[in-house]
Structure 1
Amino acid sequence: MEGLIVLIFIIGYAAIVLEHKLSINKSASALLTGVLCWTIVALVSTNIEETLHHLNEHLSEIASILFFLMGAMTIVELIATYGGFEIITDRISTKSQSGLLWIIALITFFMSSLLDNLTTTIVMATLVSKIVHDSKLRLMYVGMIVIAANAGGAWSPIGDVTTTMLWIGGQISTGNIISQLFLPSIVSLLIPLLVLSSQMKGTLPIKEENSKNTDSEEVTFGKNIIFWVGLIGLLSVPVFKSVTHLPPFMGMLLALGTIWAVAETLIKNKSEDVKNRLSIFRVIEKIDMPSILFFLGILLAVGALQTMGMLTSVATWLTDNLKNQTVVVTIIGLLSAIVDNVPLVAAAMGMYSLEQFPMDDPFWELLAFCAGTGGSILIIGSAAGVAAMGIAKIEFFWYLKKMSWLALIGYFAGIGVFLLQKMIF
């Protein structure tokens, strides 16, 4: 029966990777994989009560991640609805191709660490589509946005789903992950950025904002308030966890409740049309629920493998045969370019215990870096890449030819900096 579970898992993974070929959404494949894996576990179980106990344990961990994501996505979407991100994007005015690339990449890098790489990619790719006219040139900018967003998300506990998972799971702490991964992450961006910017010469026309929204009240009356309330709320989540020792999703829900109350107050005396357009309920309708269900399905599937003891067996094999944990984590990062990094990190969390590698062990730090930045090597390797595919119509093989080698040298440069940092300090 273990072989059957592995077969279901592999078939499910293949369906996720071949999502566009099969025309089946990866969320459906993930949910089917997760439920079928647990169905087999239940059918072969000799103690159904113990199986249900394991399921409930996994569900509790998964729910904390999903609530965190839903809260963050709602806050970010509310800021976007009010036009809050224009506070940043409206200040970009350079006409230099290389100058714009540096500005876009660095804004993406730091914004990703404060928000998350998926949302940042959506915001910045949309911005680039408005100010860069040439389609081929625009692809280069969006490709760098993917690399920058994943690099920026790797060193922040709220910047990438995988880093958030490790943070919530107790494998890493906020201050340590920032101090240990900032330098490797910025190097993994700067190397590709230096190479690409050296190839970009001349200027580009900047589209004039000649059509400012005439419905200024609806769009701008609460822009600054919502932006700063949301940003402060997101930034306060790690502080909330440190002070109260409650799970991070509680801090995120506190931030969501606060910005929700502020938004309701802002539109209280507005017209019904404004209330309908800016209502939190309209915002919630825009949340990417298929992505939430994808995480649910794939984490359930990984939980089934963990319950059957398969992940422990894999960990033992890797440890016995590869010996070097740096090599193991590097391979995990490379694999995240082929398949989604969420289940890979979930598997690693199941394979290696906190007794074996305690909180803030270099193993977990390097795992956070490799899983986050390794997804940039292929366009399908990260949520940011998949979002960029949709917005900028990036083709898989174009990215493979133009951007993958840049991401790869940045990836290994970052690992080198991480190891050098450990040797020195």
Structure 2
Amino acid sequence: MTVFGIPTEFILFAVTLLGVALFHHHTLPVALSGLTAIILYKLAFTGFHAGAGLAGLAGHMAGEWVILTNLLGLLLGFALLARHFEDSGVPQILPRYLPDGWLGGLALLVVIFVLSSFLDNIAAALIGGTIALTVFQRKVHIGYLAAIVAASNAGGSGSVVGDTTTTMMWISGIAPIEVFHAYVAAGVALVVCGIPAAIQQHRFSPIVCDAPAGATIDWPRLGIVAWILIAAVVTNIVMNLGFKELASAFPVLGIAVWVAILLATRIRQPEWSLLPEALKGSLFLLTLVICASMMPVERLPEASWHSALTLGFVSAVFDNIPLTALAIKQGGFDWGMLAYAVGFGGSMIWFGSSAGVALSNMYPEAKSVGAWLRHGWHVPLAYVIGFAALMLTLGWQPHQAKPITAAIETAPHFNPQ
């Protein structure tokens, strides 16, 4: 069943994403309603990749549960990791080393970029927003807020631990090196949007580089951050090199992160009170990923640099998590180019990425599409220039692996008919 040639599943999914954008205070109920509608439609009319009816639904989820469980473990674990980093004292010390003038604003964006390469981009944006409140005397320009989101998304685009989208690629079997070249585009984009944003902020409210009195670094807590990241990276490398079958059958990566967190409680206790809210946000993202996994991707446009560029603009309106899930399921993309496109592209509007939504909760005045586009004009410009820089230097480097599709096709009860 199609409407103007568009499969009904895509229309239901688009309505769900539109509801998320319009009712951003009720994202989980909207996402769950959309998932329910898609499941009921597929039960009644089309069936699933693994077959028809409830058996097909069960087979589909049997092919997805490892990826979903890994993603849940990493999202919750990285929420605690980000608070460990925030409580380490490093964000309080950083202002002491920022230069004066507009260069200070640019340097802060670079710091956010670097933080996002090993912290979740949401955490990097919130840490940057917190520092900005201090160094700009609680007066932060909307154009600079857009640049903070852009810097956090850019920094996470080339790292499999820096963004939910790249983490999804990683746990789906895509090697970290295959997304690393996103930094070619991300670095160019950071400069293109960072300089005008820093000048905007300097004219609006100049930087004051004073660290709070008595601020110190909690080195054991900072060591815990490194320990958790090392545990995640080493586990993933070992699984991919020698135990691929186990990695595809059991959520080893998510469990390894939580083992590292629990072992570190002897040194410093994490902020357990963060988990209820983090769980709510994680369930929302997982719901969108499940919706995306049920789309008939064989009807999507063929993977190309044109479609990657387009997905970047689409991610400014629709959350980049489900877009990435669709692309991974389809396969054949240049993963570094895609990571940059859906990551940085989501910065063009405040609700286009989770980092933008999180920062806008801290700065409610940013929840205006008109103001964001008017003052953050440098972000879409930077997106296009960064994308062009990557195309002109490294070109389109597609990879044919289809990790999620392969997982579905090898799941129990899979029936290609």
Distance 1:43 1:206 in 2: 62
Q: Structure 1 unaligned runs (5+)?
A: 214-219, 268-277
1:112 and 1:261 map into 2 onto residues whose CA distance is 24
SS of the equivalent of 2:94 reads coil
Distance 1:392 1:300 in 2: 31
Q: CA deviation at 1:367?
A: 1.0
Matched, 1:153 2:156: yes
Indicate the residue corresponding to 1:217 in structure 2.
none
CA deviations on 1:177-212 (whole Å, 9 max, x unpaired) are 22x2222111111111123334535944456625x6
Q: Does 1:312 align with 2:291?
A: no
Q: Distance in 1 between matches of 2:346 and 2:298?
A: 24
2:95 is paired with a residue whose SS is coil
From the superposition, tell whether residues 36 and 182 of structure 1 become closer, same or farther in structure 2 (CA, over 3 Å).
Answer: same
How do 1:199-348 residues align onto structure 2 when only pairs under 5 Å count? 199=200, 200=202, 203-206=206-209, 209-210=212-213, 223-245=218-240, 247=247, 250-263=252-265, 265-266=266-267, 278=269, 281-285=272-276, 287-305=277-295, 310-313=296-299, 315=300, 318-319=301-302, 325-348=304-327
Q: What is the rounded CA distance, in whole Å, between the counterparts of 2:158 and 2:42 in structure 1?
A: 36
Name the structure 2 match of 1:271.
none
Runs (5+) with no aligned partner, structure 2: 398-417
- C-alpha distance 188-48 of structure 1, shift in aligned 2 (>3 A): same
CA-based RMSD: 2.8
Question: What are the Cα deviations for residues 240-295 of structure 1, in whole angstroms up to 9, with x where unaligned?
Answer: 211232649634533432343332x247xxxxxxxxxx56543534x422211111
Match of 1:168 in 2: 171
- Alpha-carbon shift at residue 55 of structure 1 (Å): 2.7
- What's the TM-score once normalised by structure 1's chain length? 0.80
**Relative to total residues, which structure has the larger helix share, 1 or 2?**
1
How do residues 103-118 of structure 1 correspond to structure 2 at under 5 angstroms? Answer: 103-118=107-122
Residue type of the alignment partner of 2:104:
L
Deviation of 1:40 after TM superposition, in Å, equals 2.5
Provide the secondary structure at the position in 2 that maps to 1:173. coil
Shift of 1:161: 1.0
The 5 Å alignment of 1:187-202 reads 187-199=188-200, 200=202
Partner of 2:95: 92
Q: Measure the CA separation in 2 of the matches of 1:51 and 1:198.
A: 53
Q: Which residue of 2 is the match for residue 400 of structure 1?
A: 373
Specify whether residues 165 and 262 from structure 1 end up closer, same or farther in structure 2 by C-alpha distance, changes over 3 A only: closer
| Partner AA of 2:78 in structure 1 | A
Give 1:54's match in structure 2, choosing from 47, 52, 60: 60
* Contact 1:31/1:293 (8 A) holds in 2: no
Partner in structure 1 of residue 147 of structure 2: 144
Aligned residue number for residue 370 of structure 1: 341
Structure 2 residue 71 is matched with structure 1 residue 65:
yes
1:40 alignment counterpart = 41
Structure 1 segment 171-182 matched on structure 2, within 5 A:
172-178=174-180, 180-182=181-183
Aligned residues: 376
The answer to whether the 8 Å contact 1:233/1:252 transfers is no
In structure 2, what residue type is equivalent to 1:38?
I
Q: Alpha-carbon deviation of 1:424?
A: 11
Q: Does 1:387 align with 2:355?
A: no
Where do residues 126-137 of structure 1 align in structure 2 (5 Å cutoff)? 126-133=130-137, 135=139, 137=140
1:416 aligns with 2:416: no
1:78-133 per-residue CA deviation (whole Å, 9 max, x = no partner) reads: 443xx21x224313224623122122111100100111110111111112112222
In structure 2, how many angstroms separate the alpha carbons of the residues matched to 1:370 and 1:208? 35
Q: More deviation in 241-250 or 338-347?
A: 241-250
**8 Å CA contact retained: 1:379, 1:399:** yes
* Structure 1 residue aligned with 2:411: none
| 1:349 alignment counterpart | 328
What CA distance in whole angstroms lies between the structure 2 residues aligned with 1:236 and 1:196?
Answer: 37
Q: Choose 337-346 or 58-67, whichever is displaced more.
A: 58-67
Closer/same/farther in 2, CA of residues 203 and 294 from structure 1, 3 Å limit: closer
Give 2:13's aligned amino acid: F
- Distance in 1, Cα, partners of 2:270 & 2:281: 23
CA 1:335 to 1:424, structure 2 compared with 1: closer, same or farther past 3 Å? closer
Mapped contact 1:154–1:160 kept (Cα < 8 A): yes
> For structure 1, which segment, 87-96 or 97-106, has the greater mean C-alpha deviation from structure 2 after superposition?
87-96
Q: Following the alignment from structure 1 to structure 2, what is the Cα–Cα distance between the partners of residues 422 and 206?
A: 39
Distance 1:189 1:231 in 2: 25
